[in-house]
Structure 1
Amino acid sequence: MNLGGAIHINKPGLLLVFIVVALFLFYFFSKSADTSSAIKDEFKDSIDLSNLLIVAIKAAQNGGNEVLKTKDNLKIDSKGKTGEGINDPVTTADYNSHCAMEATLKHQYPDISIVSEENKVMCNNSIVYDYSKPNNVKIDVMDSIKPNVIKLEDITIWIDPLDATKEFTEKLYQYVTTMVCVAVKGEPIIGVIHKPFENKTYYAWVGKEERNLKVGSSDGTQTKIVVSISHRGTIEEVLKKNFKDVKVITAAGAGYKVLEVVAGNADAYVHNTVIKKWDICAGNAILNAIGGRMTTKNNAVISYFNDGHPVNTDGLIATVKEHDKYVGKI
């Protein structure tokens, strides 16, 4: 049986196949290009919050590094007196930390809205900081696959370049923190609190598992409430009047006090005088992320829009649980 023979190629048929394949490829890549262009147009003015979390952590750490570098060569000025008549200092460490934190955020997001305690300082834009990814930051794989994309116009970053400045000048370094908070449409979503003198960074993201802090619990023997050393007003007298068995703990720095509540060393952090929102935004986000709450003393939610009004005038209650226990008693 002869299986050999010539194979005859039908040239018109081959040309037809070539044309069909070419048209298909043209259609496929045209649709892909249109889709890619549409995605770029949709997200060009947006930010992926998983990336922003990483940059926020780096910003807090870069600010903390400036605090450490400046601690032994300080120039101290005064912003005036607080409402309690106490000197309100500002130092070169505050300014240097602000510039490092702002530069870190602007390096990645040039047009992002930032509110800072020291936003009037003129920074040297020629200084280059370390913008590499911070160590020991884990982002959930699913958050990378499905980015949490938010419109740029809806995001406000609140930074406190040096919380507890007065105590910093007194070398009470345990209270010092640098903080970054990401607010979306006025709601605190991501909080970062960095302790430069302990080289520890605490962060949490509302609705996500990204966090590196442990929630503790009080021993329950008595109510422990932490208040400000320098802004306490009449809070101690009020608390002892309204709670039968209460231990009042004094400490500095809003960031430090929130972390004490998270750790279970205090049941609540309360404040009955004015407080700036850059002091409390990061702590508010962290508490929200772990199921806690931060409100005014009258239980109103605190908003963090960049509206030119950075002062919370109605006191503060911050808790992990039993929040209503303190409402109306501050």
Structure 2
Amino acid sequence: MNLGGIIYLNKTSIGIFSGALLFLFLYMTSYKNDLNNVKLNRSNKINMHKLLNIAIKAAENGGREVIQSKDNINIQKKGLTKEGLIDSVTTADFLSHCAMMRTLEHFYPSLKIVSEEAKTRCHKNQYVDLSLPISVDENESVEFIEEDVTVWIDPLDATYEYTEKLYKYVTVMVCVAVKGKPIIGVIHKPFDKSTSWAWVNTSKSKDLYGQVHNKDEDILKIIISRSHKGQIEEVLHKNFNNKIQLVIAAGAGYKALEVAKGNVDAYLHITAIKKWDICAGNAIINALGGKMTTKYNEEIDYSNGDNVKIENGLIATMRNHNLFLEKL
């Protein structure tokens, strides 16, 4: 029995067969691309309510490491500041960084994060609490494309004062920027066990409600850096005819909150400062109706970590911003 045979295909049959194969190929490719696009669209959206809760958790996890390390810190020198002071970093900075990164990346593995201690090598066996209590109601759904979102973290602000046990100035901060604009700020004070946060045009923590701002314009209260003064005292006394009260403090986060809470009229800085120091405070002040700019009234771009330094000073106010622009 001959089961074999020869199939003869003419040009028309070959054309139909080739067309069918091409159609099948294009269909499968399109289907695969559609699936990929669906997956991309699902994973490429970030729920801001959820991210705010995660940011609060990250700051508190970092703060826990700061407290636990206070009696057992190894101090290293990064170098000297322009003012000639030692720029310190401690084991607490590193541990806080790793706890914060672990928290953020657990929920959003591909999130763009900029940290002061980005070069730190983290140990996988470091314990981090990854439970997520709901600090902010997540019923609403506000989403942004992930590629537009940049998160800035400062694992330990006021490190120098931390080594001196001046704990009231110490903060741990998280900031969320969308297309370069800071919209969510979280400032955690680990030794006070308090967390202040605000989201532009949306909500804020209870401690930021009902702040009363100084109405006495004869004497302005201005907060300046304890360790990075530059020539600011001389400049301010000259330009304001000594009608000011200077408050000397440490930590950009601490000083920004003093402005946000109405305890001072302005936070002024005339030397260089890093964006992770000010992003969270910038977001909170913006959310409360205030303003933070360079001394040339330039808004600060937080799009990415390519340029982290602000060279043109800083002015943060809740009112009368133009007055300080003119004087500084």
TM-score normalized by the length of structure 2: 0.85
State the partner residue of 1:216: 212
CA distance in 1, matches of 2:37, 2:110: 22
Which residue identity does 1:216 align to in structure 2? V
Write the mapping of 1:210-289 to structure 2, written as runs, cut at 5 A. Answer: 210-212=204-206, 213-214=208-209, 215-220=211-216, 222-244=219-241, 245-289=243-287
Unpaired runs of 5+ residues, structure 1, are 1-35
1:326 is paired with a residue whose SS is: helix
Contact 2:49–2:136 at 8 Å: present in 1 too? no
Deviation at 1:219, TM superposition (A): 4.9
The answer to whether structure 1 residue 305 and structure 2 residue 303 are counterparts is yes
Question: Which segment is superposed worse, 171-180 or 300-309?
Answer: 300-309
1:106-146 alpha-carbon deviations (Å, 9 max, x no partner)? 000000011100000100123341112246x23264x2xxx
**Count of aligned positions:** 291
Contact 1:138–1:210 at 8 Å: present in 2 too? no
State the partner residue of 1:25: none
1:203 is paired with a residue whose SS is: strand
CA distance in 1, matches of 2:74, 2:200: 38
TM-score normalized by the length of structure 1: 0.85
Q: How big is the alpha-carbon RMSD for the aligned residues of Structure 1 and Structure 2? A: 1.8
Write the mapping of 1:114-263 to structure 2, written as runs, cut at 5 A. Answer: 114-134=113-133, 137-139=135-137, 141=139, 143=140, 147-212=141-206, 213-214=208-209, 215-220=211-216, 222-244=219-241, 245-263=243-261
1:76-108 alpha-carbon deviations (Å, 9 max, x no partner)? 011010010001110000000000001000000
Work out the percentage of aligned pairs sharing the same amino acid.
53
Following TM superposition, the consecutive aligned residue runs of length 4 or more in structure 1 with deviations greater than 6 angstroms are 36-39
Contact 2:50–2:138 at 8 Å: present in 1 too? no
CA distance in 1, matches of 2:138, 2:72: 41
CA distance in 1, matches of 2:108, 2:190: 24
Which residue identity does 2:177 align to in structure 1? A
Which residue identity does 2:296 align to in structure 1? N
1:282-312 alpha-carbon deviations (Å, 9 max, x no partner)? 0000011111000001111010011411001
CA distance in 2, matches of 1:81, 1:235: 19
